[in-house]
Chain A
Amino acid sequence: MLKNSSKKPQLQRFKISYMAMFLALVLLALSALPNLYPAKSWLHLSTTQSQQHSQQLLANTPSQKSVIDFLNQHGFLVEQSIQVAQNSLSLNVLLQEPTKSAAAQQALKSEFTQLNAKIVTHQTSPDWLQSLGLAPIKLGLDLNGGVLFVLDVDLVKAQQEQLDSAYEQTKTIIRDEKARGVRVQKNAHGFELHALPAAKSDLAVVQANVLKRFERLMATAHSQGNLTTVAFSFSEQGSNAFDKEVMSQTLTTLRGRIEELGITEAVTQRQGKQRIRIELPGVQDPSEAKRIIGATASLDFYQLKEIGGKTFNLQNGGSINLDPIAIFSGQHINNAHAGRDEWGKPLVQLSLDSQGGEAMSAFSKRNIGKPMATVYSEYYKNTKGEVVKKSEVINVANIAQHLSSQFSITNMQSPQAAQDLALLLRAGSLTAPVTIVQEQTIGPSLGADNIHNGLAALMLGMGITLAFMALWYRRLGLVANIALLLNLTALVGLMSLLPGVVLTLPGIAGLVLTIGMAVDTNVIIFERIKEERRKGRAPYQAIEQGYQQAFATIFDANITTMITAIILYGIGYGPIKGFAITLALGLITSVFTGVYVSKALSQTLYLKLANKRGARA
């Protein structure tokens, strides 16, 4: 480790390595410390902030007292509340039973509609620990309680949509370029252009145009007789890039939606090629989250078309023909709020981003007095279980004036629908349909039970092991036990320190297992030492030899478990991953404490004894 250390005298050399070891242990112990202070969930209450409405809102904002009284009356006893801001309501509340926070949040939401309630976890560890950036181990859903969703993103459908859109746009390109000899037709993998020899130059122009607009597509040409056919489909590269883009866009959208729901500590991550795993700790009722997360509603704005175009269904029966290319779509919407029009009907107020605003402005200027259609699309599962897109024209309105980036959509079916649509528009819409393939709700009491049971098992297992080692090996057993306790501290410290490590119930089992198996390292060494002693070596030499001889065996034995732990980590999800992490980290810390730390300990112990007793051995 230290190159120049070999020149230094023996004593000084191991002092340096002792120092390093000591330092590492202190650091790990320090990072394990915050786990003694369990985090508490507070309710953060504030009035919904929106600039246009702030004036009227201020009038019917509930008072601080009324909120707390409401909580106390409904069985959510408030332990502590802190007012954050003076003029508007902004309150932090700690309940006596923090596991009820989610239920309280739900109750508050339905009672005070203007109130924004969030559950936020607060550290309770001393400030100096927090300022070092140290936090307790993150707990998995099975310990914390909460909701898990695994969504399947239908990438095939998304590609299909993209090809359909390319097909529609190709039709427009052909019309714009006046390429009369070119025909477009759908095929199994996308669509194809047909042209007779006379229209060959037109074909080339159209082909170049399509490829320019859709970089992900590739064109393959072949001719049959005098008919030239150019087929468009996703290139392998393009298909991969498209899938990747869809996945990351879906992730962003879902994160946005979860944030809109007021869930702060959600974990949203990709799982495998086309799955997304969402963990919502603290959430008790999955129905709202489910409705919002799985929703695929999107809005597009179209121009009406008398001749040709694509046929859409009207919401209240009948059908209408629209230009296949949208003026602009939902992704250009910056902000959306649900509200009511002057007749009390629900509406959604929109404001567009600059690009959408320009498109809208340019379009409305040219088309004053002409109608514009708002199309609401949603994916749903039909009776056969296939995912189908349903598009409906919810609104056809004449453009009364030159519209800018702010306007509203009327004719929403219900206030709930308006609210949901506003939320979805704020968070962005999904380009690919998603279906929930896994859903799990773990109640807070079950989570607390799991922690309690897991810790009890840990204590018992640890107690038995410590007692046995102390009785069997006496003085060396003391060394082993200190090493074992240090091992647990180091493991907990390491788990708190590393980002992305989550403690789950199987993880606790892994922790218990690690304790049982960590003894192994010491047992192997101690048996060796005994053997060396039988051969007639002095204690100090026997220890030195024992540690050295046993190392190869210990290394061998641990590496195979490490291999299985790594494989388990690579393949498992959720709780299983937690088990694999604890197992793998436990191996590292148990070799560290079992070999290095306990060697230092036993040497010191024997060195002192040898010094005291003189050269008795």
Chain B
Amino acid sequence: MSNSNEKMSTTTRLRLSGLVLSILLVLLSVIGVATKGLNFGLDFTGGYLTEFTTAVPISEAELAKKISYYHHDDFTLSAQSSQHFQLREAEQASTSPWLATLTQDETLGAEVLSSSYLGSQVGDELFEQGCLALFAAMVAVMIYLALRFEWRLALGSVVALMHDVVVVVGLFAWLQLDFNLTVLASLLAIIGYSLNDSIIVGDRVRELLRLDSTTQQASVNTVINESIKSTLTRTLITSGTTLATVASVWLLAGAPLQGFSIALFVGIVVGTLSSICIAATLPQLLGLRHENYQVKVDEQSQALMDMP
């Protein structure tokens, strides 16, 4: 191992530059959310959404023009493919006969796949509940971490998971992707996943600090580098297989899960980054020492280890 006391090792340098990258990403995301805002889906805004196919391919603009003949309210038409469209209307939209006209138009051969209506009141409630769920998940997880780890490590993990959530939300703002209930669910899954990574690194840091504390040979920096190195294979393999499965959902599971899988994919990538650059680095910057883990082999974790 390189002599990390005098000069910064490559690992440390990578770690710190990763931290800077993460801070930049968060700033970028905040700017994105502040300037562009989120493109909320039907789940949160309420309104009507109709999904239909046509027998013959037609361009989006052409179809929109066709529909606007007998639809006088605002509507948004989006094409999934040249024969597969989605039309979204506000809740106040008058029940214009556009759909009936469209399905009766024989040159088009339109067929309705699904239609949804959601009252805006329900949308607001769902949004509130979603935010509450995110908040509750973070608080519950923080409590668990505080019990389980020393506060510096716990804080590192929490900051890492907030980073992941913020970056994913930021991406959705920049790309103006549909932010709906399934995306929110994937944010919660990201919280779980991001912690998973952070905990494994943190666990190793704790373990090595404990083993090391009697002799005090290695600096905290070395211990953290060592922990990251020894868990890197695992982190990469697990992230890799999970990314592969999420990518297959993205590719094959179709439009309804598109947002969900994009959010998860990005969440896993930044989650892996943050588990190394934030969850492991922040405690060091906050002054993690060997003494923090002396003899304090907390009983409950010992009990947990003995459980099987």
Contact = CB atoms under 8 A, between A and B. Distances in A.
B97 interface: no
A442 B141 CA distance: 36
B133 interface: yes
A509 interface: yes
A245 B277 CA distance: 56
A445 B113 contact: yes
B252 A453 contact: yes
B188 A564 contact: yes
A520 B246 contact: no
A256 interface: no
A564 B118 CA distance: 26
Contact of B257 (A505, A565, A568, A595): A505
A556 B245 contact: no
Q: Name A's interface SS.
A: helix
Contact of A576 (B140, B182, B304): B182
B241 A464 contact: yes
B112 A443 contact: yes
Nearest to A435: B119
A140 to B, nearest CB: 12
B3 interface: no
A564 B186 CA distance: 11
Interface string B278-308: 0000000000000000000000010011011
B110 interface: no
Task: For chain A, give the interface size range.
Answer: 35 or more
A283 B142 CA distance: 45
B122 A506 contact: no
Contacts of B90: none
B245 A513 contact: yes
Interface string A535-568: 0000000000001100111011111111111011
B251 A457 contact: yes
Contacts of A472: 237
A55 B42 CA distance: 53
B172 interface: no
B241 A468 contact: yes
Interface in A140-191: 142, 150, 152
Contacts of A571: 129-130, 132-133, 136
B253 A508 contact: yes
Interface of A: 142, 150, 152, 436-443, 445-446, 449-450, 453-454, 456-458, 460-462, 464-465, 468-469, 472, 505-506, 508-509, 512-513, 515-517, 519-520, 523-524, 527, 531, 547-548, 551-553, 555-565, 567-568, 570-572, 575-576, 579-580, 583, 595
> Which are the 7 A-B pairs with shortest beta-carbon distances?
A461-B245, A561-B192, A516-B245, A516-B242, A437-B119, A460-B248, A461-B248
Interface of B: 51, 111-119, 121-122, 129-130, 132-133, 136-137, 140-141, 144-145, 148, 181-182, 184-185, 188-189, 191-193, 195-196, 199-200, 203, 230-231, 233-234, 237-238, 240-249, 251-254, 256-257, 260-261, 264, 301, 304-305, 307-308
